[in-house]
Amino acid sequence: MTAASCATTMIPAAGAKGLNVSVNSTELARHKLVAVKYTPVQLRYPRPVGKNSRIGLHGTGPRITMCTITTDQGAEGLGLLRGSTENADKVFDTMKNKPLSELFSIAQGTLNDAHLPFDFVLYDLAGVIMNKPVYALMGAEKPILARAYSGMIYFDEMEPENNPAGFGKVLENCQFDINYGYRLLKVKIGRGGRWMPRAEGLKADIEITRLIHEHFPQIDILVDANDAYTVDECIAYLKGIENVPLFWIEEPFRETREDCTKLKKWLLANSRRNTLLADGEANPDLPLALELGKEQIMDVYLDDISGYSLTRWRKLAPRLKEIGMMQSPHTWGDTIKAYYNTHFVAAYGNAPTLEGVTCFSGDIDFTSYRIVNGCIVPPSAPGFGMRLLT
């Protein structure tokens, strides 16, 4: 299956207009923020995650900080904290005892950039108060669904260092993710960036990609080099997997106009018109990405849903749609971000696929999110539909 076949998931929502402005202002104005608390949450990956082209072992799962804000009417919002608790305490002092309507607008999101550490919390709180899921706050009567890919296929053949498992371990991990419900797999490449001689690493990248396609021909493959290649190495890799369809190529090299143009021209001239070029995760250059998007060189923009913030993504989404560029916010690290992203995509569409990060936890309940036909379906519960278990 090619990227073009996902066109039905890219239909934009009806403007993502949000709820009635007068109702929004009246209801949110009734609630003043009075207290904040922080809860550490441990997330666990289904397996240890290994190396990519730049970073060593990614471990068994992150420890994150969830934040709860309470209003004088007893409403509570729960969300992933952006940044440190020390900074958040200082920020909350400037928000305390203020009506939510002065801090957050359903039509726009968090109104002051200084308050963005609480961006996710404010969306959840507004959803709880309005008794709406976040995607409905942002204007979607019904959620737009996009197929999710597993973002967890790393260089796992290299572990453990004293007795490397080999490529069979990578195939085993692919099978687990397929059994879990994913129908797309993002495969890390770029072994020559740090862990192997460059020619040997390129050969291994080609081999594992071909093996995955051979064993799972029904699965769409995305690849991500984390900027480890040169443009010529990327083209050599593509020549090496000549008969393997690719859904997209992510961060093949540090993006420049010259290199992205050269790669796109090669793709168009070599029967890979439907392979998308995706970038914008690490140290993103948004102005350059927008220029390349407008010129149909870069296809998908990827900045992180937390790093950039949900509110800023909402402002960017119409601009991307206007120039004909797609969006798929990066969510690697934890499943909380991945689930937030389902609400954004559910309201704004224009996403060929979205990143799934499988996690389990005894500290937080997010079981209302389900994978159905390869899509992560956000719940219709108020806010983001999560609750703490501790």
Amino acid code (one letter) for 309 = S
pLDDT digits over 312-356, tens only? 999 999 999 999 999 999 999 999 999 999 999 999 999 999 999
Which of 131, 156, 181 terminates a domain? The answer is 131
Which of 114, 131, 148 terminates a domain? The answer is 131
The position carrying tokens 């004293």 is: 162
pLDDT digits over 78-117, tens only? 999 999 999 999 999 999 999 999 999 999 999 999 999 9
With CA atoms as reference, report the closest residue to 81 among 283, 369, 334, 280. Answer: 334
Report if residue 15 sits inside a domain: no
Structural domain that includes position 93: 21-131
Report if residue 254 sits inside a domain: yes
- SS3 assignment, position 355: strand
Report the predicted TM-score, pTM, of the whole model to 2 decimal places.
0.94
Kindly state whether residues 288 and 224 are assigned to the same domain.
yes
Report if residue 14 sits inside a domain: no
Kindly state whether residues 365 and 335 are assigned to the same domain.
yes
Whether the Cβ atoms of residue 53 and residue 250 lie closer than 8 Å to each other = no
Report if residue 328 sits inside a domain: yes
Kindly state whether residues 240 and 277 are assigned to the same domain.
yes
Residues facing residue 269 across a β-bridge? none
Which of 80, 105, 131 terminates a domain? The answer is 131
Taking the C-alpha atoms of residue 255 and residue 94, their distance in angstroms, rounded to an integer, is 39
Kindly state whether residues 103 and 189 are assigned to the same domain.
no
Report if residue 156 sits inside a domain: yes
Q: One digit per residue, pLDDT tens: the chain, 390 residues? A: 333 333 334 444 434 555 554 556 789 999 999 999 999 999 999 999 999 999 999 999 999 999 999 999 999 999 999 999 999 999 999 999 999 999 999 999 999 999 999 999 999 999 999 999 999 999 998 999 999 999 999 999 999 999 999 999 999 999 999 999 999 999 999 999 999 999 999 999 999 999 999 999 999 999 999 999 999 999 999 999 999 999 999 999 999 999 999 999 999 999 999 999 999 999 999 999 999 999 999 999 999 999 999 999 999 999 999 999 999 999 999 999 999 999 999 999 999 999 999 999 999 999 999 999 999 999 999 999 999 998
Taking the C-alpha atoms of residue 268 and residue 70, their distance in angstroms, rounded to an integer, is 54
How much is the pLDDT for 5? Answer: 34
How much is the pLDDT for 1? Answer: 37
Kindly state whether residues 95 and 211 are assigned to the same domain.
no
Amino acid code (one letter) for 11 = I
Domain count, the chain: 2
Kindly state whether residues 335 and 209 are assigned to the same domain.
yes
Kindly state whether residues 223 and 342 are assigned to the same domain.
yes
Kindly state whether residues 85 and 107 are assigned to the same domain.
yes
